[in-house]
């Protein structure tokens, strides 16, 4: 899955994934050739910001896995500072200066992507289920990835259905924004995404150059 997501852009993206409560993080960067470059490293969970006392143990494991992936991706991207990501509004992680990123977790899998802060990044991951699968699940995941790319700088809540899936191929998609959200996110704007699937999950990554108004976006972490 990670290898397919990496075949997307010439931007220096770093991707990482791991099983929730696992011991290894698998990483790949966007310069890797398909099927190569996967590297497994020990999982070393960075310090986590506090969760509400009532948070379920599973939620804590998922958060730890996602932020461990983010820490590994940041190290591979060249960040040498603290790997303890802060918690922004709504639980969103705050990325180091110069970086943007996105986290996703579902079922027993967590993913993270990071890149330069000139990009809006949105990563979504969903577990297949009897209630949502096939084309409906794919369109949902693609729209959520676009939503997560846009939300931090749109600075307003909106329905992910504002993105229409207008082009779909076996591993790529184009989404079109159907209404203006904010400067830099206008009606008719097209976003490029890539998607991949396994027997249990489906993932999508949206990567969009940011409007010059936005200097240091903060990614949104959503369940």
**Residue scoring higher pLDDT (9 or 171):** 171
Q: For residues 157 and 172, is the Cβ–Cβ distance under 8 A? A: no
**DSSP secondary structure code for residue 185 in this structure:** B
* pLDDT reported for residue 123: 95
* pLDDT reported for residue 40: 84
- In angstroms, rounded to a whole number, what is the distance separating the alpha carbons of residues 160 and 71? 28
Q: How confident is the model at residue 217 (pLDDT cuts 50, 70, 90)?
A: very low
- The sign of the dihedral angle between the CA atoms of 115, 198, 67, 165 is positive
* pLDDT reported for residue 204: 95
- Find how far residue 124's CA is from the centre of its chain: 5
Q: How confident is the model at residue 94 (pLDDT cuts 50, 70, 90)?
A: confident
**Percent of the chain whose pLDDT exceeds 90:** 42
3-state secondary structure 97-129: CCEEEEEEEECCEEEEEEEECCEEEEEEEEECC
Measured between alpha carbons, how far apart are the two ends of the chain, in Å? 19
Note the pTM of the prediction, 2 decimals: 0.86
- In angstroms, rounded to a whole number, what is the distance separating the alpha carbons of residues 71 and 113? 10
For 25-72, what is each residue's pLDDT tens digit?
A: 988 866 655 555 677 888 887 876 666 666 677 777 888 899 899 999
The tally of CA atoms less than 13 A away on the side-chain side of residue 12 is 11
Q: Does residue 125 have a pLDDT over 90? A: yes
3-class SS of residue 218: coil
**Residue scoring higher pLDDT (217 or 85):** 85
Q: What mean pLDDT is predicted for residues 107-125? A: 92
């Amino acid at each position: 899955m990670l290898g397919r997501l990496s075949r997307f852009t010439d931007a220096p993206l770093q991707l990482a994934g791991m099983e929730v409560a696992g011991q290894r993080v698998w990483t790949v960067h966007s310069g890797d050739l398909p099927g190569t470059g996967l590297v497994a490293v020990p999982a070393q969970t960075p310090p986590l910001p506090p969760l509400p006392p009532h948070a379920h143990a599973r939620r804590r494991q998922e958060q730890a896995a996602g932020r461990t992936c983010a820490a590994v991706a940041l190290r591979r991207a060249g960040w040498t500072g603290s790997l303890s990501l802060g918690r922004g509004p709504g639980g969103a992680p705050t990325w180091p200066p110069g970086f943007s990123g996105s986290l996703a977790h579902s079922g027993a899998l967590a993913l993270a992507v990071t890149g330069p802060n000139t990009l809006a990044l949105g990563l979504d991951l969903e577990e297949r289920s009897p209630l949502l699968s096939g084309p409906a699940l794919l369109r949902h995941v693609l729209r959520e990835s676009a939503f997560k790319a846009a939300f931090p700088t749109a600075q307003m809540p909106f329905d992910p259905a504002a993105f229409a899936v207008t082009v779909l191929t076996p591993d790529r998609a184009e989404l079109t924004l159907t209404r203006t959200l904010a400067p830099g996110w206008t009606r008719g704007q097209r976003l490029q995404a890539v998607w991949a699937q396994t027997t249990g999950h489906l993932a999508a990554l949206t990567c969009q150059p940011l409007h010059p108004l936005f200097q240091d976006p903060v990614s949104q972490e959503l369940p």
